[in-house]
Structure 1
Amino acid sequence: MKADSSSRLVELDSLRGIAALIVVVHHAYLSLPEVPGWVAWTVNDTPLRPIGMGRQAVIFFFVLSGYVLTRALARQEQRQPGSVLSGGGWAHYGAQRAIRLGLPVLAAVALSAALQSLSWSGPLPPETPHITGGAAWAAPWTWRDLAAQALLLEHGDGFQLDPVLWSLVHEWRIALLLPLALLFRDRLALLLAVALVGAGVARLAGMPEGHVSLGDSLLGTLAASAGFLPAFAAGAALALRPVPRLDETQALAAAVVVVVMAMAAHDYGVIAGSVLLILLALRGGRFARSLRRRSLLWLGKVSFSLYLVHLPVLLLLTHLLHGQTAPAVVAMMATVMALPAAAAMHGLVERPAHRLARRLPPPRSARLQPRLT
């Protein structure tokens, strides 16, 4: 999800980190059995709605991945024609993606399995919120469970060790298709049309509009992945044909749209808002400068690890402290503890996985592969 280091857009790293933190807070919120009415209103009916829904942050991840990966692939193909749009180049890109996504995913699943083995004494009561009850750690894990989840082959509520992996099923699959986006460099309308056909496939398969996550079968997950094609395609289109820098009036209008679209329940509104948010980050100015703060850059650096480890931390504390500590306190503790856990995951697993992927020898036709994550 990152461009090569020579052209890194650090502002987008910060946005990714903020989105990951929103997901963390969202799951902490969902773990609360009940909340005051004013809190529910604030996180469901205001621009803070991403905290209540969480989905907006995931859609933003998809748009951002489409943009950053396609941008790096296009630059590589421009430097050395055929280095991406060739069998060897594509295989090399896929192998890099497999290492950079797969090793952290395996580590997160193994961590969750270990934590469950240490703390699990049985399923939580039926009235427990779904995110910490039925969606995760509902039963003892098996080696078959661990393998299937690490390989992103589950469906429905199958990702019991780390429910956030549902989004990586789609991230992994669609990212492998992004080299094809380069074929549409001069036909972006066709690229978007093809992506919308994919969304139509998801609807025909019965995927609920605005609520697609995973299907009830492995085949159903393929239809669900098709439903997310427009998000990746929007980011890819932005990378293939950059929009001129927004002037002050346009930036103000874009900011208003982003705030309004943060409350949108429909994916297409969120996709539009995500594209505008990327444009605002790229135009420079005060907003871009605010995204270069060290704290946000650090958050962006560990964002993937944070996304992977925060639920195992929440599940551990929920099972250890259930009936002893108020759920709100548990949620706050988990949110805070997820940050050092993410830093450890980044240093011990994610960063070494990046180094390992970079050591993969490129095919002879693609000696200048971009560093992609």
Structure 2
Amino acid sequence: MTTTATPAPATPAPATGRSRASDLDGLRGLAALSTVLFHVWQQYHRYDAAGSHPPIDQPLIGAALSFEVIDLFFVMSAYLLTLSYARAAIDGGATRTARVFLFRRAVRILPLYVLAVLTVWATRNPDLPGDWRDLAEHLTFTHLFDQRRIFYTLGPSWSLSLEVCFYLVLVVLGPLAVRACRPLRRRGARIAVCAAGCAALYALPWVWIAVAHHGLGVPHTDWVVYFGPAARFGGFAAGMGLAVLTTALGERGRPRRAVALPLTAAVLAALYALSLLSAPENAAFTYYHPLASALWAVLLYATLRIRRRTVWNRFLTARWLTLVGLCSYSLFIWHEPVMLQLHRAGLLPAQQAGFPLAVLLVLAAALPVAWLSYWLLEYPAGLLGRLKDGRGRPREFYPEAPPATA
């Protein structure tokens, strides 16, 4: 008599670095698509003496379509860029020099950004000298501080000005944190120092907004006040805090599927409720961005720290979505000029009822442009970031060095 052994059920492996990268690509893709949807929504959201007239006059649907995700970009960026500093401060080790860090950030964002600014500005200023101040401010990332021109040329690029501010802050505060933690013998003390710094940075926009809105009565349309670094740094601070948390926990604190999936659903529901309640007369609107930043950080934690992958992770790693995520920066840069060009050519529906069709038309035009932009400009420029190692030495002379990370 023979018996056949019953194989033990396979245990799903924890998320790997590649799967986490795919999750991030999926999140970038979702955020980029949501940004396009939001800006088409703004294009069709009209106002008159009788009040606001959204393209779809249904608050529940409108809250989903007008969902803002810019804080997710900030949280993800800060999380990824702060990880090396957090690991060096808490567990020791080296970090990239400021020169290498800024060089890699420059080759990542500048070639595409400069080309887009020059192209769009030239088409809108056919007669020289044109609005030369607008061009100068965009090329120096200072349009964020110009109440009149903050949304000129490339409207969404105000967020890139914030990114550049964050890079400059990080190359100062990151090494300071490492230096401050180095004399501390207890790991818990080093974690506490890093966490306290992130908490202080996260508190900054709350205080700034409270003083501006409640204390000084600054209107929400003062873009410099409410779109500037002091008001919008909550997203970066939340991402920095997430980097410190994941470094502090190490392989511990990974939520199980039974916890991670409900937590993800709860965060998405809270973000939707925040969008639904976000009207100028209430606190959800006034403090929307620091609140949303904290929620996005929790979502990233539940997504990236999961022990076993969930249906949410499988959705994020769908091939079509990760491909959109791959060219998300190009889509972010080009979608508004493409949308406005379609509008000027009369190719978008004139009536608000045509909003759904307008979304499809903008995506149909912007996605191929973004894909070509990625392969013709972003990808080749990104290769430049691999020419130097972490100490700024030419990488080709050190073949044993590991591949560069983003």
- Give TM class, smaller chain: 0.7 to 0.9
Larger radius of gyration: 2
Contact 1:63 1:274 in 2 (8 A): yes
Give the residue type in structure 1 aligned to 2:300. Answer: I
1:81 equivalenced with 2:93 (yes/no): yes
Q: Within 5 A, what are the aligned runs for 1:1-373?
A: 9-32=21-44, 39-45=57-63, 48=64, 51-54=65-68, 57-74=69-86, 81-84=93-96, 89-116=97-124, 141-154=130-143, 155-158=146-149, 159-179=151-171, 180-181=173-174, 182-183=177-178, 186-187=191-192, 188-200=194-206, 202-203=208-209, 206=212, 215-216=223-224, 224-242=228-246, 244-251=253-260, 252-264=262-274, 265=284, 266-282=288-304, 283=306, 284-321=309-346, 326=351, 328=354, 329-360=357-388, 363=391, 371=404, 373=406
Contact 1:67 1:236 in 2 (8 A): yes
Give the residue type in structure 2 aligned to 1:312. Answer: P
CA displacement 1:163-200 (0-9 Å, x = unmatched):
10111111111133235345475124312332134325
Tell me how far 1:322 sits from its aligned partner. 7.6
Residues 309 and 101 of structure 1: is their aligned pair in 2 closer, same or farther, counting only changes over 3 Å? same
Residues 228 and 144 of structure 1: is their aligned pair in 2 closer, same or farther, counting only changes over 3 Å? closer
Alpha-carbon separation, structure 2, partners of 1:97 and 1:335: 27
Equivalenced residue count is 335
Tell me how far 1:366 sits from its aligned partner. 11
Q: Give the gaps of 5 or more residues in structure 2.
A: 1-16, 47-52, 182-189, 275-283, 396-400
* SS state at 1:9 partner: helix
Residues 213 and 149 of structure 1: is their aligned pair in 2 closer, same or farther, counting only changes over 3 Å? farther
Alpha-carbon separation, structure 2, partners of 1:262 and 1:76: 36
Alpha-carbon separation, structure 1, partners of 2:343 and 2:379: 29
Residues 258 and 237 of structure 1: is their aligned pair in 2 closer, same or farther, counting only changes over 3 Å? same
Tell me how far 1:330 sits from its aligned partner. 4.4
Contact 1:12 1:281 in 2 (8 A): no
Residues 151 and 352 of structure 1: is their aligned pair in 2 closer, same or farther, counting only changes over 3 Å? farther
Give the residue type in structure 1 aligned to 2:165. Answer: R
Alpha-carbon separation, structure 1, partners of 2:42 and 2:222: 19
* SS state at 1:359 partner: coil
Alpha-carbon separation, structure 1, partners of 2:54 and 2:234: 36
Contact 1:10 1:297 in 2 (8 A): yes
Residues 323 and 161 of structure 1: is their aligned pair in 2 closer, same or farther, counting only changes over 3 Å? same
Tell me how far 1:280 sits from its aligned partner. 2.8
Give the residue type in structure 1 aligned to 2:59. Answer: W
Residues 197 and 259 of structure 1: is their aligned pair in 2 closer, same or farther, counting only changes over 3 Å? closer
Tell me how far 1:94 sits from its aligned partner. 1.3
So what's the TM-score if we normalise by structure 2? 0.70
Tell me how far 1:307 sits from its aligned partner. 0.5
* SS state at 2:113 partner: helix
Tell me how far 1:338 sits from its aligned partner. 0.8
Contact 1:82 1:366 in 2 (8 A): no
Tell me how far 1:117 sits from its aligned partner. 6.2
Alpha-carbon separation, structure 1, partners of 2:157 and 2:233: 18
Residues 28 and 323 of structure 1: is their aligned pair in 2 closer, same or farther, counting only changes over 3 Å? closer
Contact 1:318 1:330 in 2 (8 A): no
So what's the TM-score if we normalise by structure 1? 0.76
